[in-house]
Amino acid sequence: MNRAVVRWAAVAAVLFVFFLLLTVPARHAWGWLGGGQLAVQGIEGTLWSGRVAHLANPAHPVFPVGPLAWHVRPQALLLGRLEYQVFVQSGTGGGELRVGRGLFGGASVTAAHLSVPAADLAQGLHLNLLTLAGEFQIDIDELRLSADGSGALPSVLEGVLVWRDARVVQPSPLSLGQLRMQLGLREGQVVGALSDEGEGGSLELSGELSIGADRQYRLDALLKPRATADAPLREALGLLGAPDAQGRYRLQYSGAL
């Protein structure tokens, strides 16, 4: 038999099996893919396109998710990648993202645009003595994991986290404006460069949050009240100690996740 015919027949067989797998009901594939560790309700559809009504991790029930829907992006298949467009909701927050994996590369997340109310985040993290307001918006341009799955940190990370209309409600009302953390990698660490967006906010912020592969983190920030800052904010900053020559208060903290 002609070698070219055999080669194309093999390619056709592989593609047939691949597309056949994508039509497998999602409820059957869930167990095969190791999803048994998660609590799932209302799963329907196929690996090609489907949805889950509710999804949670019993071991870490911080942010229950649902509904969550997905569908394959056919154009990515032409580039040798299996890529999904995912739509997710969690409480009153949610958004969309692309999740994919190449033939020889690791898993990736791109074009992610997600939001979560600050109050929900504080509640999910069990910050019982702290009530927050505003909204956290996270935009991930690119996040990639190593192909062999090794390493606790991503191999590529580009994104930004913004706390819009940042406010502390309890234990003392504080208006912080709009705060920003630019996400990236440096010397084997995840690094978040802290700043304020200066849009009428009463707090000037600069500094850095770093997280290592050993899950140790370090926060080093400088905070300064603007002329518009109210008395509660100035009093709260005063608890950090004496300001420097520029009127900035230093906040340093470290620990493990």
Q: Are 98 and 110 in contact (CB under 8 A)?
A: yes
Average pLDDT value for residue range 16-27: 67
Average pLDDT value for residue range 165-190: 92
Q: Which residues pair with 161 in a beta bridge?
A: 138, 181
Characterize 138-174 residue by residue with b for buried, 16 or more Cβ atoms within 10 angstroms of its Cβ, and e for exposed.
Answer: bbbeebbbeeeeeeebbeebbbbbbbbebbbeeeeeb
Whether pLDDT at 224 is above 80: yes
CA–CA gap between residue 189 and residue 214 (Å, rounded)? 10
Report the mean per-residue pLDDT for the chain. 86
> CB-based burial of residue 102 (10 Å sphere; 0-12 exposed, 13-18 middle, 19+ buried)?
middle
**pTM for the whole structure:** 0.84
pLDDT digits (tens, 9 = 90+) for 188-217: 899 999 999 876 678 999 999 999 988 899
DSSP 8-state class, residue 21: H
Average pLDDT value for residue range 245-249: 96
pLDDT digits (tens, 9 = 90+) for 59-69: 666 677 889 99
Q: Are 122 and 130 in contact (CB under 8 A)?
A: yes
CA–CA gap between residue 247 and residue 52 (Å, rounded)? 51
Whether pLDDT at 123 is above 80: yes
Q: Report which of residues 3 and 87 the model is more confident about.
A: 87
Whether pLDDT at 230 is above 70: yes
Domain boundaries, the chain: 1-69, 70-256
CA–CA gap between residue 66 and residue 155 (Å, rounded)? 29
The pLDDT value given to residue 124: 79
Could you tell me what percent of the chain has a pLDDT over 90? Answer: 50
Are β-strands 189-196 and 174-186 bridged in parallel, bridged antiparallel, or unpaired? Answer: antiparallel
